[in-house]
Amino acid sequence: MKNIWSFFMGTLLLVSKGSKAYYIWVGTLLTIAAFGIMGYIYQLDQGLVVTAMKDQVSWGFYISNFTFLVGVAAAAVLLIIPAYVYHWKPIKEIAVLGELLAISAICMCLMFVTADLGRPERFWHLIPKVGLLNFPQSLLSWDVVVLNIYLFLNLTIAGYILYETYYKRTPNKNFLTPLLLLSIPAAISIHTVTAFLYNGLGARPFWNASILAPRFLASAFCSGPAFMILIFLLIRNYTKFKIKDEAIHKIAELIAYAMFVNLLLFGAEVFKEYYTDSVHLAPLKYLLQGLHGHSALVPWIWTALIFNVTAFFIFLIPESRKNPLTLVLGCIMIFAGVYIEKGMGLVIPGFIPDVLHEIYEYTPTGIEIIISMGIWSLGLLIFTMLLRVGIPILNGDFHVADDGVGSHIGDQLFLVGRQVKDVEDDEKLE
């Protein structure tokens, strides 16, 4: 009991002390999160009428973010597959960080879905046996199941690895390897299920294309790892955590291939709709050209496409892949491009034109944006906290003290700029 308490105290110290940049970062996130929470309380009181969603476009910004973030969460798999299947040393050390990203992303997904529900207090209706989960007929019930399994898996794997490392033990391969191998299909499952829940609707021809699930997976494998590369570059600069160049370049190369598949599949969609020129061309036309004078999404999707193609070439050509500036630029472009293409660029055209061919152009209201920013802040906050504890554990700076009970925070506490010996020494510094 005491060692858990001192672990907890150690983590609190880690997250509450830091450099000025750290305080600004956390402070900003907390402020935005506070605004987001206030906005959500207002939405709970007034109802979803405060959003721009109507019967014609019944899913909007929240579900767009949710769809994108499920992809980011699935992307942790990209790091695990080469790490554990090919026993690649550089990636193995940092695969855990990918899982921490997955945990934060899944938390954000759950928050976005909750924000979108009309009756969030009735979430217990989704719990099997307690409520009434329509499994296996409803794809949303599948989503509830696989997202929670994936969250649980990642918490277990990352938690176990960090726990064992904290206690200066080697994690038990026999326990870990099956879980890791399970997490690969779990990651693919969460995104496939999310794709299927759009795919199965005959009423929405824009989504009712077999190509949707492969597109989801391809774009997921671009966005998550791109974010991870940015995180790794930050970690490399600010901590003593060693991340090899070849690991980062390998991830970038894999992203290039995933983006190629993503663009290919998108191109296939475009060909099929434009060449056949049936009634079902309308949503894609709305997205790419505008329909009957409505063209709110057109500049966004073209920006996203330009970003995606540019980033693809950046990652494809080894020189630009290895150049730190273009690498960062490429990562940001891919993240933004996939965010647009798979977020609003996927969800909204499914509703425009609607099933009776009415066009209602949806743009999110201020409340939706504030709540969404609040959720992103909370997610980034969770991720920051996880990294703040996880990295010192992984690089040996935070581990159980020699007595086996207390906790020890080592010499270089990153982002602090000063040295902290033990937890109890902290008082002397004050």
Q: Interaction with another protein in 161-200: which residues (CB under 8 A)?
A: 197, 200
One-character DSSP codes across 326-391: HHHHHHHHHHHHHHHHHTHHHHTTTTSS-TTS--------HHHHHHHHHHHHHHHHHHHHHHHHHH
Residue 293 as a binder of another protein (CB under 8 A): the answer is: no
Rg value, the chain, Cα = 23
CB of 383 to another protein, least distance (A): 22
CB of 292 to another protein, least distance (A): 10
One-character DSSP codes across 260-324: HHHHHHHHHHHHHHHHH--GGGHHHHHHHT-BTTB-TTHHHHHHHHHHHHHHHHHHHSHHHHHSH
Binding positions for another protein, 375-414, rule CB under 8 A:
401-403, 405-406, 408
| Distance separating alpha carbons of residues 243 and 397, to the nearest angstrom | 16
Residue 129 as a binder of another protein (CB under 8 A): the answer is: no
Which one of 56-64, 299-307, 316-324, 372-380 is the stretch in contact with another protein (CB under 8 A)? 56-64
User: Would you say 51 or 223 has its CB closer to another protein?
Assistant: 51
| String of contacts with another protein for each residue 316-355, x by CB under 8 A | ----------------------------------xx-xxx
**H helices within 134-244, ranges in order?**
139-166, 173-199, 212-238
- Given candidates 31, 46, 276, 289, which one binds another protein under the rule CB under 8 A? 46
368: left (phi over 0), alpha (psi -120 to 50) or beta: alpha
Binding positions for another protein, 206-265, rule CB under 8 A:
none
CB of 209 to another protein, least distance (A): 15
User: Would you say 75 or 193 has its CB closer to another protein?
Assistant: 193
Length of the chain: 430
- Given candidates 77, 126, 304, 334, which one binds another protein under the rule CB under 8 A? 126
User: Would you say 6 or 192 has its CB closer to another protein?
Assistant: 6
- Given candidates 93, 164, 269, 426, which one binds another protein under the rule CB under 8 A? 426
Q: Are 91 and 62 in contact (CB under 8 A)?
A: no
Residue 427 as a binder of another protein (CB under 8 A): the answer is: yes
Residue 201 as a binder of another protein (CB under 8 A): the answer is: yes
